[in-house]
Amino acid sequence: MNNKDFWESVNAVITEGFTPEGLQKLDEYAEQFVTGRLVYQRFSPAEQHGCAAGGPAHVVASLLAGAEDQTDRTASPDVEGFQRELQRGKTQAIIIENWAKVVGCWTDEVDDALQHDLGRKIAEGGEALVYDHGASLVKSIGLDYFVQPILALDRITLHNTYFPETALYVLGFGRTSDEFKIIVEQPYVTGTHVPNDEIATFAQNMGFKQINPKNWTYATPEIYLSDLHDENVIRSEEGNIFVVDCDIRINTPELRCGGVRKLTTEVRFRK
């Protein structure tokens, strides 16, 4: 199977409304993704492993969002700029929602449901609400920073690749009014906040160059890393440093931080 055949197959599953046969096919593709037979060239091998660490729902949703992305790139655009990004994001969200409802990992009025099941939220950031779940946290993540689900799903993939100790596992998806949400679970880390100067050293030791200290932005030619401030980095009682939240992306030239990567949805299969 080549790239064209693969995406035509996934789009057929979407068009046919996620029949049992179609769902079985998606599960087979997800298994091939996890085992490395299906190589998703958007990611490095380590990043593809990070995507798999997000769980089956994360892998399938990433492929479904990629199917919309693939289709969009071959269509004649009727809108430009940010409005086009919004349109693409809406289409991706609808596709994932339709699939999630069929397989049972969708929650309507998701934040009300999480508050009812887990109790009062313990934190609220620019894109996420956070709920206590004992040894873990449950977060409902919106698209404020990313617009398109495919980019928010990339963020989970990259977080799991670079910060596996606090990996995000996708439980499902939902919506609050008109806002699409990704529901994730993450290990709960106790400790103290790390000062920003120590975070800078930590990031630089990982190979990141500081780009803008005012918004805590770092980068390599491959990865853009931002929002890495003292509220998002914890030192445990044992002295280990854990990144619990950040804005991490594939570093493309468009981000103007020395990036060299290209966003692609090309796939190939190992023989």
Residues 223-269 have pLDDT tens digits of 999 999 999 999 999 999 999 999 999 999 999 999 999 999 999 99
The whole-chain average pLDDT of the chain stands at: 93
d(CA 230, CA 234): 8
pTM of the model: 0.94
Residue 72: per-residue pLDDT = 59
**Token pair listed for 103:** 């397989």
Question: What pLDDT, in 10s, does the model give residues 173-230?
Answer: 999 988 999 999 999 999 999 999 999 999 999 999 999 988 899 999 999 999 999 9
**What's the rounded mean pLDDT across residues 52-69?**
95
- Which residues, at least 6 apart from 64, have a Cβ–Cβ distance to it below 8 Å? 10, 14, 26, 92, 95, 96, 99
- Which residues, at least 6 apart from 26, have a Cβ–Cβ distance to it below 8 Å? 10, 13, 18, 60, 63, 64, 99
Residue 125: per-residue pLDDT = 75
Question: What pLDDT, in 10s, does the model give residues 114-154?
Answer: 988 887 788 887 778 999 998 899 999 999 888 999 999 99
Question: What pLDDT, in 10s, does the model give residues 97-119?
Answer: 999 999 999 999 998 999 888 87
In terms of C-beta distances under 8 Å and separation of at least 24 residues, what long-range contacts does 80-88 make, across chains too? 82/147, 85/147, 85/148, 86/147, 88/148
- Which residues, at least 6 apart from 20, have a Cβ–Cβ distance to it below 8 Å? none
Question: What pLDDT, in 10s, does the model give residues 10-40?
Answer: 999 999 999 999 999 999 999 999 999 999 9
Residue 74: per-residue pLDDT = 46
Q: Is the pLDDT of residue 75 over 50?
A: no
**Token pair listed for 128:** 């996420």
Residue 145: per-residue pLDDT = 84
Residue 97: per-residue pLDDT = 97
pLDDT band at 270 (very low <50, low <70, confident <90, very high): very high
Q: Is the pLDDT of residue 76 over 60?
A: no
- Which residues, at least 6 apart from 34, have a Cβ–Cβ distance to it below 8 Å? 52, 59
Residue 22: per-residue pLDDT = 98
Give me the helices (H) in the chain, please: 3-15, 20-35, 45-53, 56-74, 81-103, 110-118, 149-162, 196-205
